[in-house]
Chains A and B, each alone.
Chain A
C-alpha cells in the first residue's frame, strides 16, 4: 500500500520535473519551423531566402539569443505547392513541437500556411507571399503576420512612379491568376486615384506560364500607350523581354515592371537581353542603400554565402526571423499570446531601414526598391540606376 502510494507520488513529481525542464530548461533552443522551396525552379529564390534567415539566427545566437536561449531554425524543403507546404508545416509542428513558423513562398503557400497556423494555433510570419487575400479582414486571424510587401503596396508603388512621369495612356499586361490580377488591380485603382487624367487604354491577360507572348504584343502596341505596367515575374519576365525586343517594344513603350525584375539575379541571367531604361523593382539590391547598416549586411551576407554578389532574396528570410526574435525579446517570453502582443506594432531596425508590423492588419510596412535598368561600368550586368526605396507607409489602407 505504502509502496503504491510512493510510486504514485514519485511519478507525479518526475512528470512535473520533466515538464518544468522542457518548458523552462536553461539554454534549451527555441525551435522555429521554416518550410522553404529548396528544389525545382523556385529554389533559385527559396534557397537565398532561407540562407538569410539562417544568417540572422546565427548572429542573434552569437549575441546571446533571447532569455538566455538560442533560436534553432528547422528548415525543410516544401516544394512549390500549397499541399506540400501544409504537409511539411504540420510535420514540423507535430514532431518538433514548434510554436513558431516562418517560411513558404508562393502566394498560395502563404494562404495555406496561414490556415495551418490558425488550426494549430502557432504563430506564422510570411517572408515572401504577397497576396492580400491572406490578411484581408475575412481571413485575418491572430496567428498570421506578413513581413513581405503585398500586392497592394507593390501595385501602388508602381503607380506612384508612373504618375511622376508625363505618361497618360497606360496599358497593363499580367498573368491571369491571383498575383497578376491583384497587383494589376491595385496599380489601376491607385493610378486612377492619384492621376485621374490617366487612361487605361489596353489590358491583356496571358495565362500564367505562357510560352509565347508575341500574339499579345501587337494588340498592346496597337492601343498606342505611352507606358505599360507589366507583372510578369522571374522567368516569365525573361521570356517576355526576349520575345518583345525584336518588335521594338521597349523603344515604343515606357515599361514599369513589378515582380522583382530588378533583382541583380535577373540582370545576371539576362545580361544584354535585359531591356535598358525600364523601371522595375527588387526586394534588395547589394549596391543600395549606401547606409552603414546595409553595407555591413551585404558584406556579412557575401561572407556567409561565399558568393561574389550578395543574393537579393536573403533579406526576406532575414527580416521575417528578425521580427520574431525581437518580438520574443520585447515580450521577454516565448508564450504565444505574449509574442503576438509584442509583434503588433513592433518596429525593428533592419538592414534596409525601419520596419513596423502594423497592429491592425498584421502587415509590415515593407516598401520596395525601385529603379531604372542601366548599364554601368562597375558591373558586367545591368543594374538599377537611378534607384530609390519607395516606402509603403503612405500606400497602405
Chain B
C-alpha cells in the first residue's frame, strides 16, 4: 500500500481529470436535456477549443495574460461555430427522426477531424502553462501543479454558472418551457428558434472552454475528440443524461476510479471504467441520478 501522501496526490490527479470531464459532459448533458439532441460532435468542439487556444497563444505572444485571452477567444470561436451549426444545419433536422440527428452529428465528427488535420497537420502541440501558475504546491510533501489545483476549483464554477443561468433565470425558464412544448411557446410570441441557438451556443462554449483549459496539461493531437467524447458519454451514462448533479457525480466517480485504478491494476485502469458503466446500465439504465425516460 503506498503512502497516504501518494494516495492524496493520485486522488487530486483524479479530481483534475474529473473536472475536465465534468466541464465537457455537462455541455453534452445540457444540450440533450433541453434540445433532446445527442451531440456526437461535442468532443470535436472540445478538440477545436484546444487547437484554437494553441493558435491564439502564438498570436497574443507578447500580451500580458496571453493564455487567458487565448482561452476566452478560442472558446468563443468554438461557441460561435456551434451556434452556426445549429442555425444552418441542425435546425432542419428537429422534425426528423432522432436517427438523422445522430447521423448528422456523427458526420460532423469526421468532417471536423479532417478539417483539423488539414489546418494543423497530424503533429502534436502543447501550450505552456500561464506564467503565474507554472509552479507547484507542496501538499503533504508531494508536489502538485498549481494549474491543476486552479482547474479543480474553476471547472465546477464555470459549469455551475452556466447551469444556474439556464435553470434559475427567467431566460432559462423560457428555454425549458421550449423544451417541453415549443409550439405553445412560439404561439405566446417567443422566438423559439433563437432560444435553441443560444442553448447550442452555450453548450459549445463549455466544450470549447474544456478544450482550451486542458491545452496546457494535455497533448493537442488528432484523435483527442473521439477519446473525450467516449469518456463524456460514460460520465453521463453513469450519472444520468440530462441531470446536472448526475453529471457531476459521474465525473467524480470516473476520475477517481481511473486514477486509483492505475495504482492497483495499472494495465486494467481503463477496463474498470467500462465495467462500472456496464453495471450501471444493468442495474439503473437511466443513470444514478437520472430519471427514467418516458416515451
Q: How far is the CA of A211 from the CA of B3 in the complex (A)?
A: 27
Q: How far is the CA of A236 from the CA of B146 in the complex (A)?
A: 23
A353 within 8 A of B: no
Note all chain B residues with C-beta closer than 8 A to A218: 6, 9-10, 13, 142, 259, 263
Residues 100-155 (chain B) with a chain A CB within 8 angstroms: 121-124, 126, 129, 134-136, 142-148
Q: How far is the CA of A161 from the CA of B98 in the complex (A)?
A: 60
Q: How far is the CA of A218 from the CA of B63 in the complex (A)?
A: 35
Q: How far is the CA of A246 from the CA of B270 in the complex (A)?
A: 25
Whether A242 and B126, one on each chain, are in contact in the complex, defined by CB atoms closer than 8 angstroms, is yes
Most buried by A among B16, B218, B220: B218
**Number of chain A interface residues as a range:** 20 to 34
Q: How far is the CA of A320 from the CA of B7 in the complex (A)?
A: 50
Note all chain B residues with C-beta closer than 8 A to A221: 6, 9, 142
Q: Which of A40, A204, A243 has a CB less than 8 Å from the CB of B122?
A: A40
Whether A238 and B136, one on each chain, are in contact in the complex, defined by CB atoms closer than 8 angstroms, is no
Quote the shortest CB–CB distance from A176 to chain B (angstroms): 8
Interface string of B249-272 (1 = CB under 8 A from A): 000000000110011001101100
Q: Which of A205, A209, A216, A246 has a CB less than 8 Å from the CB of B145?
A: A246
Q: How far is the CA of A286 from the CA of B116 in the complex (A)?
A: 35
Name B125's closest neighbour in chain A (CB-CB): A235
Interface string of A217-247 (1 = CB under 8 A from B): 1110111000000000001101100110011
Note all chain A residues with C-beta closer than 8 A to B148: 214
Q: How far is the CA of A238 from the CA of B124 in the complex (A)?
A: 9
Q: How far is the CA of A246 from the CA of B2 in the complex (A)?
A: 21
Whether B10 and A235, one on each chain, are in contact in the complex, defined by CB atoms closer than 8 angstroms, is no
Interface string of B1-39 (1 = CB under 8 A from A): 011001001100110110000000000000000000000
A25 within 8 A of B: no
Quote the shortest CB–CB distance from B17 to chain A (angstroms): 7
Interface string of A194-223 (1 = CB under 8 A from B): 000000000111010101101111110111
Most buried by B among A44, A205, A236, A243: A243
Whether A209 and B10, one on each chain, are in contact in the complex, defined by CB atoms closer than 8 angstroms, is no
Whether A239 and B136, one on each chain, are in contact in the complex, defined by CB atoms closer than 8 angstroms, is no
Q: How far is the CA of A218 from the CA of B262 in the complex (A)?
A: 10
Name B145's closest neighbour in chain A (CB-CB): A246
Given contacts A214-B16, A235-B124, A238-B124, contact A248 B136 (CB under 8 A): yes
B292 within 8 A of A: no
Note all chain A residues with C-beta closer than 8 A to B146: 246
Q: How far is the CA of A248 from the CA of B9 in the complex (A)?
A: 13
The interface stretch among B67-75, B81-89, B221-229 is B221-229
Note all chain B residues with C-beta closer than 8 A to A27: none
Q: Which of A207, A215, A235 has a CB less than 8 Å from the CB of B219?
A: A235
Interface, chain A (partner B; CB < 8 A): 40-41, 44, 176, 203-205, 207, 209, 211-212, 214-219, 221-223, 235-236, 238-239, 242-243, 246-248
**6 A-B pairs with C-beta separation under 8 A:** A44-B123, A215-B10, A222-B3, A222-B10, A239-B219, A247-B144
Interface, chain B (partner A; CB < 8 A): 2-3, 6, 9-10, 13-14, 16-17, 121-124, 126, 129, 134-136, 142-148, 217-221, 223-224, 227, 258-259, 262-263, 266-267, 269-270
Q: Known A-B contacts: A207-B270, A209-B223, A215-B262. Give 12 more (CB < 8 A).
A: A44-B123, A204-B266, A212-B17, A212-B217, A214-B13, A219-B6, A221-B6, A222-B2, A246-B135, A246-B145, A247-B144, A247-B145
